[in-house]
Chains A and B, each alone.
Chain A
Amino acid sequence: MIEQQATNVGQFPPVEAELTGNVVVDTSVTPGNPSRRGAGTFRAIMRNRKALIGVIILLGFAGMAIFAPWIAPGDPNDLIAKRNLPPSSEYWFGTTGSGQDVFAQTVLGARASLGVGVAVGIFTTFLAALIGMTAGYFGGKVDDFLSLFMNVFLIIPALPLLIVLVGFLGGGGPMYFVFILGITGWSWGARVLRSQTLSLREKDFVSAAEVSGESRIRIIGGEIFPNMISLVAANLFGATIYAVGAMAALQFLGLGNVSLVSWGTNLYWAQNNGALLTGAWWTYVPSGLAIALVAFAFALTNFAVDEVTNPRLKAQRVARESLAKLGHKSKKNSRATPVIRHAN
């Protein structure tokens, strides 16, 4: 018997049964389902409060990175004032242990950190999609080989590998980090996308495309991929956060070129200059907070993408809100359908 998941899960009728060959499916048109086309999805995401906050924060940081030279002109490595000055009206974030402007360093640091983060995000997602989808769709020996490849990269512990590569390859500029983080970070995403491709490949619309004579490339790109966009987006966000954090961690350890201005090196120098001992919190809090906020913003946006693409999550939230409006206090763990009597 063919078993398939009901695609209108979370909507009515309520019985989210697995459908087997003989079962009758709800054929009434489901109202109000957001169109999954670009514009509709985008609007739906924007309507979500979490996403809005996340996007605003990200835009803020992006703006900071792009307009950095105008926001904080000059070379952030210049020694401009006395060391370890706390924040004041003259130097908003104070000065570092060497007498540099913390504000300038933070603002300009966004360029390297975010730049590498986004580049790695795109690079790894692209690799993950290419390899994962190829393995998932073609199956057989192709899959066997690519899966082995993926698994090898997965098992290798990333951080030690990164340290070793950094040690061997020398250098240490942004491109360098993009390469290293990209090479070590794609395999997990590839596995996830491969799984999803495997399950989508069994869908009837893929078989129907094959029977129509559609070429394999077009099936992967035109039929399977559009159904995976939310997963790819989640991958993109996750990989970006990973890259921002990993780069900062590596730089904090002193690896790579420490004279590059980025959030990670800021933290390295703060630690180097004994900021914890001297109590110069303004030298590490801005960069640390920046990293945390960026990760937070991506996570919020991810929530929203999840909700838009998984109607069940939305239905639950809507239900809670509507019931609250009707004046019903929903008990957290009540396993009974609420009974509200109003005039009929």
Chain B
Amino acid sequence: MAQLAQPASPNGHEQPILQVDQLTKRFPVGGLMSKMEVHALEDVSFSIHRSEVVSVVGESGSGKSTTARLISRLMPPSSGRIVLNGVDILAKEPRRPSLKYRSQVQMVFQDPFGSLNGVHTIRHHLVRPLKIHHKTRGRKETNERIEELLQTVGMDAKTYADKYPHQLSGGQRQRIAIARALAVDPVLLLADEPISMLDVSIRMGILNLMERLKQERGLAYLYITHDLASARYIGDRTHVMYAGRMVEGATSDDLVHDPAHPYTKLLLSAVPDPRAERARVEARGEVPSLIDPPPGCPFAARCPYVMPVCREIMPGQTYLSPTHWVRCHLFGEGVGIS
């Protein structure tokens, strides 16, 4: 397969922290004798650089969460490459991820109630990663590090370290989840809808914390969300996913002000924005089934600009600018993949 060109990094020629190439995940479905497969993720490629937040936006069934789970190696991909700091991870450790990988790539989950174990104290949640990765020696050092971690996320160790998750609010739990992820000094943080289950008035606090950590530590983020507005707020770049494929990628401002893909435009018009003029959304149909999908662009069934070629060939990446690409036949000469 020809190597698809990657967009320029924010600072020129620096090697990306994470490079994902043609990542694909298919699940067998339908019982013992069936050969049907759910194409949860198909041919996804992107990269993240140091101190960069890449937002991935999509609705249900888009494959955005699957992307995070694959990169965090909670499950193996069906095909594709994951390259971390220049190392082809799946070639190096195809079966189980090494402890080193676990110390470099961490994850924050969507549900603040579910991602902490209700029978363990906060201290336990933070001690475990420290112990597993031998980050500290002895109780004193461990406790100091825990204090440090809690302080970093804006919480006081004396008050919170020995509490149980149910004694904390949702926002506090999410901060603990971030602290736990930071315990191993990762270079990449995967945030899977970290604020969508929090009260509105505290969401910004968490996003601002993430931003601050990015500035202070050069952390790279994959920020997954269904909310375009927060994707734009925190993301340097935003990618749009639909039915398991990435259909557009650009700097966040470009994507919002100059969307190319018809689905991106649909998404933008559907976001409630009291300041904008109210346009009606005429979306025909719904997200197609991911089971053994037909060839061509998955959005063809709903696209107001659909052409015959759309139903036959999946469009390749076309660059509208060095930092803005789209997979859509409207923009012509992309390398097609049938």
- CB of B185 to closest CB in A, whole Å: 13
Task: Give chain A residues whose Cβ lies under 8 Å from the Cβ of B167.
Answer: 29, 33
With A29-B167, A213-B102, A213-B129 known as contacts, the answer to whether A227 contacts B196 (CB < 8 A) is no
Query: Is A145 on the interface with B (CB-CB < 8 A)?
Result: no
Q: In the complex, A227→B119 CA distance in Å? A: 7
Closest B residue by C-beta to A227: B119
- CB of B75 to closest CB in A, whole Å: 10
Q: What band does the interface of chain B fall in when counting residues whose beta carbon is under 8 Å from A?
A: 35 or more
Task: Give chain A residues whose Cβ lies under 8 Å from the Cβ of B180.
Answer: 208, 212
8 Å CB contacts to B: which residues of A19-45?
A: 19, 21-30, 33, 35-37
Query: Is B115 on the interface with A (CB-CB < 8 A)?
Result: yes
Closest B residue by C-beta to A203: B114
Question: At the interface, is chain A mostly helix, strand, loop or mixed?
Answer: loop
Task: Give chain A residues whose Cβ lies under 8 Å from the Cβ of B110.
Answer: 2, 21, 204
Task: Give chain B residues whose Cβ lies under 8 Å from the Cβ of A203.
Answer: 114
Query: Is A207 on the interface with B (CB-CB < 8 A)?
Result: yes
Q: Once the chains bind, are B129 and A212 in contact (CB under 8 Å)? A: yes
Q: In the complex, A108→B222 CA distance in Å? A: 69
- CB of A2 to closest CB in B, whole Å: 6
Query: Is A226 on the interface with B (CB-CB < 8 A)?
Result: yes
Q: Once the chains bind, are A209 and B116 in contact (CB under 8 Å)? A: no
Query: Is A211 on the interface with B (CB-CB < 8 A)?
Result: yes
Query: Is B74 on the interface with A (CB-CB < 8 A)?
Result: yes
Q: In the complex, A4→B116 CA distance in Å? A: 14
Closest B residue by C-beta to A228: B119
Q: In the complex, A2→B107 CA distance in Å? A: 17
Q: Which of B198-206, B230-238, B242-250 contacts A (4 or more CB under 8 A)?
A: B198-206
Query: Is B319 on the interface with A (CB-CB < 8 A)?
Result: no
Task: Give chain B residues whose Cβ lies under 8 Å from the Cβ of A205.
Answer: 114-117
Query: Is B52 on the interface with A (CB-CB < 8 A)?
Result: no
Known: A33-B166, A208-B116. 10 other contacts (CB 8 A): A8-B113, A23-B197, A24-B198, A27-B169, A211-B102, A212-B128, A212-B184, A213-B102, A223-B120, A227-B117
Show the binding face of A for B, using Cβ within 8 Å: 1-2, 4, 6-8, 19, 21-30, 33, 35-37, 203-205, 207-214, 223, 226-227
- In order of increasing CB-CB distance, the 6 nearest A-B pairs are A27-B170, A213-B102, A204-B115, A204-B114, A226-B119, A205-B117
Show the binding face of B for A, using Cβ within 8 Å: 60, 65, 69, 72, 74, 99, 102-103, 105-107, 109-120, 128-129, 132-133, 164, 166-171, 177, 180, 184, 193, 196-200, 202, 226
* 29 A-B pairs (CB sep. < 8 Å): A7-B118, A21-B197, A21-B226, A25-B111, A25-B170, A25-B198, A26-B170, A27-B112, A27-B169, A27-B171, A28-B169, A36-B118, A37-B119, A37-B164, A204-B111, A205-B114, A207-B69, A207-B115, A208-B109, A208-B115, A208-B116, A211-B72, A211-B107, A212-B106, A212-B129, A212-B132, A212-B180, A213-B132, A214-B132
